[in-house]
Every structure is written in structure tokens, then in C-alpha cells.
Structure 1
Amino acid sequence: GFVSILPQAGTYVSRICVRDLEESQFIRESLELGSVRWAVRNFTPELSEALEDLLEQQLKCVKQEDWQQLWRLDEQFHKTIAEFKHTSQVWKITKNAKAHMDRVVRLAYPWIEQLSMITDHHQRLVKLMRQGDVAGVEALMREHLGMIYTFLDPMIERNPEYFSK
């Protein structure tokens, strides 16, 4: 959980457990790879338009250095793919599974130097989806979702009090 309650001592925000992050990453990657495979095989002009619109908004956020809005639009991009031709259940499960990862990402966003990589990955994902390249989309999605590991160690070094093993 996110909160630790210690009787007679107080209520505290729980540390981020690195082991839980790894498990969350596994669950998220499994669900999102399944969703993106489905989206590639059933790609429509409507999905393309929705993703292109989100990309346009994301590029504006990068130019304006509006990291909070970029984070929201990044979430919406992944949600749009997950909910394409599915119920919202897939995204609900994904969102719940990645909750601990979101804590790290929110901490790291202002310091992530390669934020434009997010929009670059999204642009390339849409292009590969349009081409029907399932293997290419899967490989890029794995790389995209694995970006958390590029800044996890520096985050732990910078804020050791936020993490536990």
C-alpha cells in the first residue's frame, strides 16, 4: 500500500518497494503488449486519429516544458490503446498494477532529460501500428515501458529515504 499506519505512532507515506516495482513492470508490460498487439491487428482510422491528436498535444507540452500535462497525455495515450476494442477493465487493471511505478515516474519527471523520447516513441509506435508491424511495435513498447529503469537508480541515489528493497 501507499500508507503505513503505526498504532500510537502515526500514519506515514510508505516507501516505494523496488521489488514491487519490478513486479508492477512485469504485469504492466504483459497487459500493454497484449493490448498493443490487439490494436495493431485491428487498427482503424479512428484509432490513428485519436493517437495522432494525443501526439500533437504531447509535442506542445514538450516545447512548453509542461511535464504534468505531458504525464497526463502519456497516460491517455496508453489508455487509448488499452481500451481500443476492449472494455475499460484492461486499463483499470493496468493502472492499478503500475501504481507504484507512477510514484517513481512522478518523482522523476522534472529531472528526466529524455522526455522527448516519450513523444518520439509514441510517434514511432503509431507509425509501426499503421504499418501492421506487430514485432516492431512489441519491441518498441518493451523499450518504451523499460525507460523507468534508466532513471530508477539515479532516483534511489538522489532520494534513498523514499525507497526500500
Structure 2
Amino acid sequence: MPDIARMTPHPETTDESLPTIGPARVVDETVAALRRAILSGDLRPGQKLSVPALALRLGVSRSPVREAVLALTAAGLAVESPRRGVVVTELGPKEADAIHEARGSLEGFAARLAAERGPADLGERLDAILAEQAAAAAAADENEYFRTNAAFHAAVAAACDNAELQRLLASLEGRMALALRQVATRPEHRESAVAEHRKVVAAIKARDGSGAEAAMRAHLAATRRRVT
């Protein structure tokens, strides 16, 4: 799997140590590589996604990179810029605020349904994720914290047993991830978020739908305040 962080800065040269992508599932792997690079900050907000340069650096043809850039645009991780072509999405305070406002309603409802409909072992699975997240927060490991945070919210959404709600959440996933990345670097946010997640899990374990919704809404409202 390619590592965008190790890309050479000059598109006319190649990095011999950069792993290339094999022919199988090349588009999916290219999308995954570029998504990781955007969410890790290796591809920065506003940075141009040059198809020829990325193809050279990833060791693939231009066609899968072109398709990957289109997929990232559809996911909200990239946007068309009138004079520069496709660039990595930049979220301003207004956009980030709007995303978190929408998340409050959608994920709050997902938490309610997860508490009421989720599998019997959902609480245990969420506890396991939170243990990893708490360890990442204590170690100030931003990338692991970000991964476990995404895993927590994804697990709650997956347990809501409502395909339409899951589709709505999926449509916001890319931009939600960018907004969350903005606060994942702050130690005070990481510690507070873990505590807030624990309240959500406690309500889910108790099969308290209204309590789970309230806890998730409160968590996202607090995240919204920290972002803006």
C-alpha cells in the first residue's frame, strides 16, 4: 500500500522506495491511499491533486488516479477550484459548524436506535474501542486517536439498523472526517471526547434510547464548540 508521506516533491522524479500499487483493485487502493493522505494531513487542505504527479508518485497509470480523484470529490474530500483544478477540501469555520450541526441530529438519532435495536454485544465492542481510544489519548497519538474515534462513531451508526440513516451519514463521512481532524490534535478535546463517549456507551448498555441520543447530541455539541 502506498505511503503518500514519502512521495517525492518533484513530479519528474520517482522514489525508488515508494511501494507501487498492483493491478488488482487498483482504483480502490488508489482511493484508499489518497484518502489516508488527506485525512493524515500529508495532502494538505487546498493542495492541488495533480493526476500526472500523483500517478507518477504512486506508480500507477493516470486512469485510476483520475477515477480516484472523482471519487474523493464525490465524497467531499476534494473540490473543483476554478483556476487550479481539483484541490483538497478546505473547511472554514462556517462549513465545519454546519457539519457538526447536522451530525448532532443524525448521530443522535443513530445512537437512540443503536441503544434500542443494537446487538447484545454492542456495549462490549464499544468498550473495546474506547479502551484503545483512551490509550491513544493518553499517549498523545493523534493518528490512533483519530482512527479509534472514527471506529466508535462507525460502530454506533452500523448498529442503528436503519439503511436510510446510514446512507445520510455516509454522504457526510468525508467532510465529517476533515472536521474531526481539526480537533483531534488538541489534547483537551481528546480527553473530553473519551469521557463523552463513555456516557453514550453507558446509555446504550442500559438500552436507554433517549439517554443515548441525549449523550451523543451533547458530545457533538461540545465538539462543535471546540471546533468553532
TM bucket normalised to smaller: 0.7 to 0.9
Q: Is the 8 A contact 1:112 1:151 kept in 2?
A: no
State TM-score, norm by structure 2: 0.57
Which runs of 5 or more residues in structure 1 are unaligned?
Answer: 154-165
- Once residues 26 and 151 of structure 1 are traced to their aligned partners in structure 2, the CA distance between those partners, rounded to angstroms, is 13
Q: Is the 8 A contact 1:79 1:91 kept in 2?
A: no
Are 2:192 and 1:104 aligned? no
Quick one: which of 81, 88, 92 aligns to 1:5? 81
Which runs of 5 or more residues in structure 2 are unaligned?
Answer: 1-75
CA 112–139 in structure 1, closer or farther in 2 if over 3 Å, else same: same
The match for 1:82 is 157
1:80-107 C-alpha deviation (Å, 9 max, x unpaired): 1111152776445314325334323213
- Once residues 135 and 98 of structure 1 are traced to their aligned partners in structure 2, the CA distance between those partners, rounded to angstroms, is 24
The match for 1:160 is none
The match for 1:122 is 197
The match for 2:217 is 142
Structure 2 residue identity aligned to 1:119: V
Are 2:113 and 1:30 aligned? no
Deviation at 1:117, TM superposition (A): 1.4
| Aligned CA-pair RMSD | 2.6
CA 125–12 in structure 1, closer or farther in 2 if over 3 Å, else same: closer
- Once residues 87 and 103 of structure 1 are traced to their aligned partners in structure 2, the CA distance between those partners, rounded to angstroms, is 25
3-state DSSP of counterpart to 2:161:
coil
3-state DSSP of counterpart to 1:113:
helix
Q: Is the 8 A contact 2:137 2:145 kept in 1?
A: yes
CA 89–43 in structure 1, closer or farther in 2 if over 3 Å, else same: closer
| Bigger radius of gyration among the two | 2
> Alignment length, in residue pairs?
152
3-state DSSP of counterpart to 1:146:
helix
3-state DSSP of counterpart to 1:3:
strand
* Identity of matched residues, %: 22
The match for 1:156 is none
Structure 2 residue identity aligned to 1:135: S
CA 114–90 in structure 1, closer or farther in 2 if over 3 Å, else same: same
Are 2:124 and 1:49 aligned? yes
- Once residues 85 and 207 of structure 2 are traced to their aligned partners in structure 1, the CA distance between those partners, rounded to angstroms, is 54
Structure 1 residue identity aligned to 2:80: S
The match for 1:62 is 137
Higher relative contact order (Cα pairs below 8 Å, separated by 6+ residues): 1
The match for 1:162 is none
Higher helix proportion (structure 1 or 2)? 1
After TM superposition, the structure 1 stretch with the greater mean CA deviation from structure 2, 98-107 or 62-71, is 98-107
- Once residues 138 and 93 of structure 2 are traced to their aligned partners in structure 1, the CA distance between those partners, rounded to angstroms, is 32
State TM-score, norm by structure 1: 0.75
Structure 2 residue identity aligned to 1:65: A
